[in-house]
Structure 1
């Protein structure tokens, strides 16, 4: 994949609301506080892709306590954007933020101080969040909220999204400034908050004789290789359904994303719960 074209900007009419990024070709994840500029009675907005093209969107879910929102891309528009893998970050990992609020703003990058850990966010919920140190000492990082946190350096050819930027820690010596410590909700936290990506009913259809492989911690105790092999089996099954025209082509990428998300959540459940 060339470029981080999965991030988006959100507008209503000509008013810029904030940033976000595509979880798949149908749903955009953003920070709820980025949508404060929405008119009270209208959840419709424009999703502006990295290349400047616009698609219609609508806010479909809000989680006020976790400061997260999910936006659905409307209509039959085919968003032809490469979607990165989702993953988990650990202390010591490098990170960067491909989204920036304007072309005159700097790109953020730095190091993960703390992997997924409980954090009391401003919305009032305790969420699983990454604590990040930014190399860039800006004093105010608010315009970057809603953008993706990507593991590794910007030149990585296979980006892995690990979180969504939400908050900045205040500078304890200067109340009007922010420190260079940021907090990002993990992708696992966002997936738990929204139920749009469940695939258990599909797994039951393929394995009617036994329990669903996505349930009851069935992946607990298995190796990562075994979990990956399980996902590959699902990818093959989805491709088979597509070849037999059981699935619409527009659904394939979304289903594969859902399978990968489910496998990762079950495999890492002990770490992210």
Structure 2
């Protein structure tokens, strides 16, 4: 791979399974068929980051009809890799695939033919997908499954548009050869499929423990301070994500504004104790 990025390789028992990418610092999204039938929920996998660092993970959710799987990185491992914003593609946009199965393989690029087509996966489910044309005529794109489709954000930086799932076979060929047409599930589809990306669930991650078990800042033990730092980091990441999702029309801007206030309140409650709203002092 030509630079440190948010895409990953997945291994099990030292066997490479396929590609995926960090949708957040905690969760890896991949195509279910990349796991080759070897993973049910709770199955352990090794996530090899693009800097060649391995971290342990487990399959926490699968959507078999949509050919999607979510892998959770163990909380004891900090993955401090910059992750691009999610964005909504438009017909005619240019796209690129930053992931390559091997260093000698081509890097994919092309054009978005359709930004929101209903595509029926081999698993039988209908997903919101991008229909893509690839510039590279490879004849077989299977090694790229599970990898991210990138576009450009309004700010000019990279943005994740979707996840590569399937290739279209060339009907004119007498050989088993793919045309240069690919389908990728949108990021919005993946977020709808997994409750880990439901805003209520994300806010619950920041929910403070009961006040009677949470000492005041003046009496906190040293071991509590790292948890506060981790909570602050999670809150900051969530606030940024909510802003990006709002700007990309993945969630309603009014809802996003209220959720940002909720996140801030959760952090304040966690550090100083729940606020009273019944008039008592």
TM-score relative to the length of structure 1:
0.75
Aligned to 1:251: 234
Pick closer, same or farther for the CA change 1:97–1:202 going to 2, 3 Å.
closer
Structure 1 stretch 256-265 or stretch 99-108: which is displaced more? 256-265
- Pairs aligned (count): 226
The aligned runs of 1:125-136 (5 Å cut-off) are 125-136=125-136
Aligned to 1:219: none
1:26–1:254 CA contact under 8 A, matched in 2: no
Aligned to 1:159: 158
Give, in whole Å, the separation in 2 of the partners of 1:152 and 1:191: 20
TM-score relative to the length of structure 2:
0.73
Aligned to 1:48: 48
Pick closer, same or farther for the CA change 1:253–1:133 going to 2, 3 Å.
farther
Work out whether 1:266 is the aligned partner of 2:217: no
Give 3-state SS (helix, strand or coil) of 2:65's partner: coil
Pick closer, same or farther for the CA change 1:185–1:248 going to 2, 3 Å.
same
The structure having more radius of gyration, on CA atoms, is 2
2:92–2:113 CA contact under 8 A, matched in 1: yes
Deviation at 1:261, TM superposition (A): 6.3
Q: Which ranges in structure 2 are unaligned for 5 or more consecutive residues?
A: 205-227, 254-281
Give, in whole Å, the separation in 2 of the partners of 1:57 and 1:8: 12
1:24–1:253 CA contact under 8 A, matched in 2: no
Q: Which ranges in structure 1 are unaligned for 5 or more consecutive residues?
A: 205-244, 269-273
Give, in whole Å, the separation in 2 of the partners of 1:196 and 1:40: 17
Deviation at 1:100, TM superposition (A): 1.2
Cα RMSD, aligned residues only:
2.8
Pick closer, same or farther for the CA change 1:146–1:184 going to 2, 3 Å.
same
